Structures are given as structure tokens and as C-alpha cells.
């Protein structure tokens, strides 16, 4: 029987279902009617696409949380850590730092 050709959007959905299932790749693939090797290839492909999107876009995820006064804030980018004692740095500054590391 020939395998159905699926789009990247379909594989994105399948890989999400696989991650949420808690099943082994072999079990999930068998139940879903896809090849285990293809499932694992797409999982890898989508991971690398996500990584290149984050690193290639020029944007950095910044998560803001309420911080009590007098608590230092540490910004880590790769191996570099900078401590701020007077509140958080502006987001554009953090993005520029990340783009240079």
C-alpha cells in the first residue's frame, strides 16, 4: 500500500500529537498509520526549523516577571551573564546583545 503524501502542516500536527501521546515512536506510528522513520525524521526536521527560526529571525524571547525591589536581574545569552541591580534592561538592548553572541 502506498503511503499518503502529507504537507508540513500535517506533519507538524502529527508530531505534536506524538509528543503529547507519551507513546514510543514505534507504537504511535503503527497506530497512526505512518512509518516510524518518517515520524522521527519530521520530528527532527521541525526541531531544526524551530531552532533556525529563533536564531535567524533577529528576535529573542523575553519573559517578563514581577521582580521584588532590590533583587538583581541576570540576563544570560549563551555563555555570557550580565547582572542588573537597578531593574531590567530594555528589551531592544537584550535583543541586540543576543544578536551579537
Question: Whole domain around residue 33: which residue ranges?
Answer: 8-56
Domain count, the chain: 2
Please provide residue 65's backbone torsions phi and psi, each rounded to the nearest 5 degrees.
-130, 155
Stated pTM of the model: 0.48
Residues 40 and 20 in one domain: yes
What is the 3-state secondary structure of 41-91?
Answer: HHHHHHHHHHHHHHHHCCCCCCCCCCCCCCCCEEEEECCEEEEECCCCCCH
pLDDT at residue number 70: 73
Q: Are 82 and 74 in contact (CB under 8 A)?
A: yes
Residues 69 and 51 in one domain: no
Quote the pLDDT of residue 32: 94
Specify whether 31 is located in the same domain as 71: no
Query: How high is the pLDDT of residue 26?
Result: 95
pLDDT tens digits, the chain, 101 residues: what are they?
566 889 999 999 999 999 999 999 999 999 999 999 999 999 998 887 665 554 555 666 777 777 666 778 787 777 778 888 877 777 787 777 777 66
Question: In terms of domains, do 13 and 51 share one?
Answer: yes
Can you read off the three cell numbers belonging to residue 37? 522513520
Amino acid at each position: 500500500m502506498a503511503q499518503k503524501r502529507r504537507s508540513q502542516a500535517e506533519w507538524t500536527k502529527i508530531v505534536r500529537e506524538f509528543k503529547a501521546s507519551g507513546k514510543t515512536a514505534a507504537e504511535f506510528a503503527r497506530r497512526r498509520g505512518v512509518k516510524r522513520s518518517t515520524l522521527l525524521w519530521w520530528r527532527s526536521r521541525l526541531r531544526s526549523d524551530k531552532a533556525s527560526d529563533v536564531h535567524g529571525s533577529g528576535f529573542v524571547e523575553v519573559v517578563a516577571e514581577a521582580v521584588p525591589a532590590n533583587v538583581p536581574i541576570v540576563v544570560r545569552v549563551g555563555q555570557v551573564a550580565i547582572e542588573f541591580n537597578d531593574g531590567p534592561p530594555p528589551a531592544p538592548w537584550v535583543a541586540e546583545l543576543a544578536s551579537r553572541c
